Chain A
Amino acid sequence: EDQVTQSPEALRLQEGESSSLNCSYTVSGLRGLFWYRQDPGKGPEFLFTLYSAGEEKEKERLKATLTKKESFLHITAPKPEDSATYLCAVQAKPNAGGTSYGKLTFGQGTILTVHP
Chain B
Amino acid sequence: GAVVSQHPSRVICKSGTSVKIECRSLDFQATTMFWYRQFPKQSLMLMATSNEGSKATYEQGVEKDKFLINHASLTLSTLTVTSAHPEDSSFYICSATDRAYTGELFFGEGSRLTVL
Interface residues of chain A, those whose CB is within 8 Å of chain B, are 32, 34, 36, 41-46, 49, 51, 87, 89, 99-109
Describe B's contact surface by its main secondary structure.
strand
Query: B43 contacts A101, CB within 8 Å?
Result: no
Identify which of B46, B49, B97, B110 contacts A43 (C-beta below 8 A).
Answer: B110
Identify which of B42, B45, B105 contacts A102 (C-beta below 8 A).
Answer: B105
Describe A's contact surface by its main secondary structure.
loop
The interface residues of chain A lying within 8 Å CB-to-CB of B34 are 102-104
The interface residues of chain B lying within 8 Å CB-to-CB of A51 are 103
How far, in whole Å, are A89 and B106 apart by their CA atoms in the complex? 13
Taking CB atoms and an 8 Å cut-off, the chain B residues in 1-31 that contact chain A are 1, 4, 6
Minimum CB distance partner of A36 in chain B: B107
How far, in whole Å, are A34 and B42 apart by their CA atoms in the complex? 17
CB contact under 8 A between A108 and B105, given known A102-B34, A102-B97: no
Most chain B CB within a 10 A radius of its CB, from A42, A44, A105, A109: A44
Query: A43 contacts B32, CB within 8 Å?
Result: no
The interface residues of chain B lying within 8 Å CB-to-CB of A108 are 42-43
Query: B101 contacts A101, CB within 8 Å?
Result: yes
CB distance from B8 to the nearest CB of A (A): 13
Can you give 8 A-B contacts (C-beta < 8 A)? Answer: A43-B95, A87-B43, A101-B32, A102-B32, A102-B49, A102-B97, A104-B34, A108-B42
Query: B49 contacts A103, CB within 8 Å?
Result: yes
How far, in whole Å, are A48 and B103 apart by their CA atoms in the complex? 10
The interface residues of chain B lying within 8 Å CB-to-CB of A100 are 49
How far, in whole Å, are A89 and B105 apart by their CA atoms in the complex? 11
Query: B107 contacts A44, CB within 8 Å?
Result: yes
How far, in whole Å, are A22 and B104 apart by their CA atoms in the complex? 21
Query: A34 contacts B49, CB within 8 Å?
Result: no
